[in-house]
Structure formats: structure tokens, C-alpha cells
């Protein structure tokens, strides 16, 4: 007998061989998650109480444009609930014995992968479901289980790898480049606003340790300058930690395992710097994932504050001086799902916008009921699906923006901003500008009092009052 392997020199990719093994590994991961996390409660209740009424379809922007069955939120959730019932409940096992022949197959895993990544996990359908099923939670779990069998968007995995095992952040910005960028921004601020402002680095004992979406250092310099300017005029005690300066957490989109590691890195940096609070920049999912800090690290973990919460409070307390000029263009506000859907941050940005804009209009619907930009759940990072994102997913958003007639769309979220720009480009809204909230605030911020204080502190004589008296806006006169 000759060894067949020497006769036929076949070679099989390890991955290709494992592909047929995915159902088993999916179920193993499912079992581990049920044991060590606490998804059994919602799965149990939802799989027993779901009534298949189809109300969610009316509220899903994706289903509204594609009209495909697989895009009905309830249908999508049912994909995972069926697996749960069949393999993890006694009644399901019994039903299977009596001939309900559902078996988890490779094709079924593919079907789930497709369905759960067409959904942006915006959780809008939860508001319509008469039973109150949180379809976003099911998508969140399904994506994690899929990731455990090796199905996750490359863009998200590569960025997370860079963050956890590479340079230390998703945009692969090394510390010297970060410092250069911040120095450049300081010069910009000096040149444009005549203000001596520092981006504090590694200051120990600061109240806030700052975690923006790290991509802001490359793409959204105005937002960062706005953040720094607000901290400057309000005398806030803050710092950027060179050990970790990235708030992005793609774990929220595909794996609790990654999310936990990233969240713990943030906490470790705050502890290293002996800081007290985590200050998140203008980023929706960075904020929501940081809200999971106590979940993964326990109740003693540092408090999480979004920069808009900080700014709105300072504005309310009259500590943010504004120039007499206001933003004249018509401005509208897009609520990022991750911070607005549960109603946690909806009013703060509006307070700020009403204070700085002359013509602020709302989109309808707004706040907790706002439509997703179409790039949620990490899909915005996948450039290959831009057509899908700005078409079926983003069309509703484009219509919403068009209806307001606004020239400026404000969104305090790096992902929403990228997606909204592409939505506007692809949907014939070329004149609409998409900016962050602190970008706009920077334009009307009055550095006069801060300059004055600095001069006085340095023992220089007071400068003449320049044109227009600075107005400090309190909430009452907005």
C-alpha cells in the first residue's frame, strides 16, 4: 500500500477545512457565552414572548428601502432565537426529537452573517416592538458569536488588532506623531485665535483623561481644537495620556471579548495617570462602549463623561464666553444612535446649538427616535459597501436632511460624520456641510476673558477692550 498522501500531493488551506466546522464552533461559543455572560435572560424571554407581529418593519430604514424579508428586524432576530431554542432549551430539544428538523448548518451561519451585518444595530426597532424586544441586543450577541467562528469584517478586526497588539490605537498613530499633531494644532489656534493653549500630555492627577476617536487627530482637527478650546476657557483639568489616547472600541460592534480588553486599557491609562474621570470626545460608540466601564471593571471604575455633557454644563454655569456673532447658516443636528437611542444624551447638544446658532432646526423624527446615519454598527468602516450604506441604508437620512433645508449638519460622532458626508455626496446634497459640534462652538468662542486672565496672571497690563463686548451666555437668556 502506498500512502495516498505521497501519491496525490494535495494541499488544503487550514481555513477552508475549518469552514465546515463552523456550526459546531458556533454552538460551543454560544454555550460559553450563555454560561459566562448573561444573555440567557433576554434570549429566554424573547424566544417565549415574541409574537411575530411585524411592527418593527415599519420602523427599519433598511427594510423600508429594500423590502427584503431578511431585513425585517424580527425575522433577523428569529434567526438566532431559533438556534437558541433548538440547542439550548429543553422544549427545543424535545421538538427536534418530534421531527422539527432544524439543524444549524454552514449555510445557516452564512445567512446569519449576512443578516446581522446588514443591520446597523441602531436599536430603533426596539421602540416599535409591542413586546419590547431589543433586536439590537440580538444583533450584538449574534455578531460576537459569528466573530468567534472567524466571521467579522476585516476593517474592524484589523483596526482592533492595531489597537490591542500594534501601535496601540486604531489609526496606528505613534506617540511622536501625536505630539507633532498637537503642537501643530496649538500653532493653528495661536495663529487663528491668538490664544496660547496647550494640549496637556501625561499630566498626573488631572480630573479628566481625554479619549477622542483617535481618527480625529487625522481627520477632524477642528473638533479637537474645539474640545481643547473649551477646556482652556473653562480652566478644566484634563490631559491626553500617551499610553492610550484612543476612545474607539470596535469591540462594541463585533465582540464583547475585544470590547472588554479595550475598555480595560482605557481604565488602566486613567489609573496610570492618577486621573479621576474618562472624558470621551465627539464619538458615539466610544461613549457607549465607555459606559460599559463599570460593567467590565466593577463599580469602582472611573466615571465616564462625554465632552458635550461637560461643555453643556459649563455653558449653563456661564463659564463659556461667546462672541456676539452667531452661526448664521441653517443648522440641524443628527443624533448618533449610540448616545441618543436610550435617551442618555439628547438635550446637551441642543442647549449648545441653540446658544451658538441663529437658525437651528430639528430633523423629524429626532432624539431617541432619530434615524441611523446608515453607517452604524461599524459598517461605516467598510469602504467596499459604500453604495449599500449611502443607498438603501442612508437614503432615509438624506431625505431627512433635505427636508430641513439645512446647510450645516452637526453630528458629534466621527463615524456618523464620515457616513453623513458620503450620504450627502451620493444623494445629491453636495452643498451640505457636515461638522462636529465643537467645530462650530470654536467659531463663536470668545477667548478675550481667557487671554485677559493669562495676562493678569503673567503681570502684564490689561489690553484694551476690542470690538464688541463679550457676552457670557447663561441658560436663561438663550
Partner 1 sequence: MHAWLEWARGPAFVFCFSFMLLGLVRHVGVTIWEIRRTLRRAGDRSLPLTAIVKATLTWLLPADRLRREPLFTATSILFHVAILVVPIFLAGHIALWARAVGVSWPAIPNALADVLTILAVVTAAGLIAQRLAARATRALSKPQDHAILILLALPFVTGFLVMHPGLNPFDYESVLFVHVMSGNLIFLLMPLTKLTHAALLPGTQVVAEIGWHWPKDSGSRVGAALGKEEEPV
Q: Which of 24, 154, 190, 257 binds partner 1 (CB under 8 A)?
A: 257
**Which has the closest alpha carbon to 88: 130, 120, 41?**
41
Q: Indicate whether 167 belongs to the interface with partner 1 (CB under 8 A).
A: no
Tell me whether residue 244 or residue 390 sits nearer to partner 1 (CB atom): 244
Q: In angstroms, what CA-CA distances link 178 with 159, 185, 213, 214, 418? A: 17, 11, 13, 10, 21
Q: Binding of partner 1 at residue 342 (CB under 8 A)?
A: yes
Rounded least distance, CB 69 to partner 1, Å: 4
Q: For residues 259 and 191, is the Cβ–Cβ distance under 8 A?
A: no
String marking each residue 100-129 x if it binds partner 1 according to CB under 8 A: --------------------------x-x-
Return the residue of 165, 191, 431, 464 that touches partner 1, per CB under 8 A.
Answer: 165
Under the binding rule (CB under 8 A), the answer on residue 415 touching partner 1 is no
| Residue 35 interacting with partner 1 (CB under 8 A) | yes
Minimum Å distance from CB 416 to partner 1?
21
Smaller CB distance to partner 1: residue 109 or 233? 109
Residues 6+ apart with CB under 8 A from 374: 61, 120, 389, 390, 393, 394, 395, 396, 397, 419, 423
Q: Which residue has the cell 455633557?
A: 309
- How far is Cα 243 from Cα 410, in angstroms, rounded to an integer? 31
19 is written with which cell numbers?
469552514
* Distance in angstroms (rounded) separating the CA atoms of residues 346 and 402: 21
CA distance 454 to 222: 23
Binding-site size for partner 1 (CB under 8 A) equals 63
Instruction: Name the H helices within 119-205.
Output: 135-148, 154-165, 175-193
Cell of 246: 484612543
**Count of residues making up the chain:** 478
- C-beta neighbour count of 27 within 10 angstroms: 17
Tell the smallest beta-carbon distance from residue 293 to partner 1 (Å). 8
Determine which residue in the list 109, 133, 273, 322 makes contact with partner 1, applying CB under 8 A: 133
**45 vs 129: CA distance, rounded Å:** 14
C-alpha 110/C-alpha 342 separation (Å) is 31
Closest contact distance (angstroms) between CB of 49 and partner 1 is 4
Q: Min. distance of Cβ 144 from partner 1 in angstroms?
A: 8
Name the nearest CA neighbour of 293 among 251, 323, 332, 232.
251
Told to check if 461 binds partner 1 by CB under 8 A, we report no
Does residue 39 belong to the site contacting partner 1 (CB under 8 A)?
Answer: yes
The verdict on 157 binding partner 1 (CB under 8 A) reads yes
Of 125 and 429, which has the nearer Cβ to partner 1? 125
Which cell numbers hold the place of 446? 470668545
Q: Output the nine-digit C-alpha cell for 40.
A: 440567557
* Residue 99 engages partner 1 in binding (rule: CB under 8 A): no
Between 164 and 454, name the residue whose CB sits nearer to partner 1: 164
242 touching partner 1, by CB under 8 A: no
Binding region for partner 1 (CB under 8 A) out of 39-47, 305-313, 322-330, 401-409: 39-47
What x-and-dash track marks residues 64-93 binding partner 1 by CB under 8 A?
---x-x--x-xx--x---------------
Residues lying near partner 1 in the complex (CB under 8 A): 28-29, 32-33, 35-42, 44-45, 48-58, 63, 67, 69, 72, 74-75, 78, 126, 128, 130-134, 137, 148, 157, 160-161, 164-165, 251, 255-261, 292, 294-299, 342-343
Amino acid at each position: 500500500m502506498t500512502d495516498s498522501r505521497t501519491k496525490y500531493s494535495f494541499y488544503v488551506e487550514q481555513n477552508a477545512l475549518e469552514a465546515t466546522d463552523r456550526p459546531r464552533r458556533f454552538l460551543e461559543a454560544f454555550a460559553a457565552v450563555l454560561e459566562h455572560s448573561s444573555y440567557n435572560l433576554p434570549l429566554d424571554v424573547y424566544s417565549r414572548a415574541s409574537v411575530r407581529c411585524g411592527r418593527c418593519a415599519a420602523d427599519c430604514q433598511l427594510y423600508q428601502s429594500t423590502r427584503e424579508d431578511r431585513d425585517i428586524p424580527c425575522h433577523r432576530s428569529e434567526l438566532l432565537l431559533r438556534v437558541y431554542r433548538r440547542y439550548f432549551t429543553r422544549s427545543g430539544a424535545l421538538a427536534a426529537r418530534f421531527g422539527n428538523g432544524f439543524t444549524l448548518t454552514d449555510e445557516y451561519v452564512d445567512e446569519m452573517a449576512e443578516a446581522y451585518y446588514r443591520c446597523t444595530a441602531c436599536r430603533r426597532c426596539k421602540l416599535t416592538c409591542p413586546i419590547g424586544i431589543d433586536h439590537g441586543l440580538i444583533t450584538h450577541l449574534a455578531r460576537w458569536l459569528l466573530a468567534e467562528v472567524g466571521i467579522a469584517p476585516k476593517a474592524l478586526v484589523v483596526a482592533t488588532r492595531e489597537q490591542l497588539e500594534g501601535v496601540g490605537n486604531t489609526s496606528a498613530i505613534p506617540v511622536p506623531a501625536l505630539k507633532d499633531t498637537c503642537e501643530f494644532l496649538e500653532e493653528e489656534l495661536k495663529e487663528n485665535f491668538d490664544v496660547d493653549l496647550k494640549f496637556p500630555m501625561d499630566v498626573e492627577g488631572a480630573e479628566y483623561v481625554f479619549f477622542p476617536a483617535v481618527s480625529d487627530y487625522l481627520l477632524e482637527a477642528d473638533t479637537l481644537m474645539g474640545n481643547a478650546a473649551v477646556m482652556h476657557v473653562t480652566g478644566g483639568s484634563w490631559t491626553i495620556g500617551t499610553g492610550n489616547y484612543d476612545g474607539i472600541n470596535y469591540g462594541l460592534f463585533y465582540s464583547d471579548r475585544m470590547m472588554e480588553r479595550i475598555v480595560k486599557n482605557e481604565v488602566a491609562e486613567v489609573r496610570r495617570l492618577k486621573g479621576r474621570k474618562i472624558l470621551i470626545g465627539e464619538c458615539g460608540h466610544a461613549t457607549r462602549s465607555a459606559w460599559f466601564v463599570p460593567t467590565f471593571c466593577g463599580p469602582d471604575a472611573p466615571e465616564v463623561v462625554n465632552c458635550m455633557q461637560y461643555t453643556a454644563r459649563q455653558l449653563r454655569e456661564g463659564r463659556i464666553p461667546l462672541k456676539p456673532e452667531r452661526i448664521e447658516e441653517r443648522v440641524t443636528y443628527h443624533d448618533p444612535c449610540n448616545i441618543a437611542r436610550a435617551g442618555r444624551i439628547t438635550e446637551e447638544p441642543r442647549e449648545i446649538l441653540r446658544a451658538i446658532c441663529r437658525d437651528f432646526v430639528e430633523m423629524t423624527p429626532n432624539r431617541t427616535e432619530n434615524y441611523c446615519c446608515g453607517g452604524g454598527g461599524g459598517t461605516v468602516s467598510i469602504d467596499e459597501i459604500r453604495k449599500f450604506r449611502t443607498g438603501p441604508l442612508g437614503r432615509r437620512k438624506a431625505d431627512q436632511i433635505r427636508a430641513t433645508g439645512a446647510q450645516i449638519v452637526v453630528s458629534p460622532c466621527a463615524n456618523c460624520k464620515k457616513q453623513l458626508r458620503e450620504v450627502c455626496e451620493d444623494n445629491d446634497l453636495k452643498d451640505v456641510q457636515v461638522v462636529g459640534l465643537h467645530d462650530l462652538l470654536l467659531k463663536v468662542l470668545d477667548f478675550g476673558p481667557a487671554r485677559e486672565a493669562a495676562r493678569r496672571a503673567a503681570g502684564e497690563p490689561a489690553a484694551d477692550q476690542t470690538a464688541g463686548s463679550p457676552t457670557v451666555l447663561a441658560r436663561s437668556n438663550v
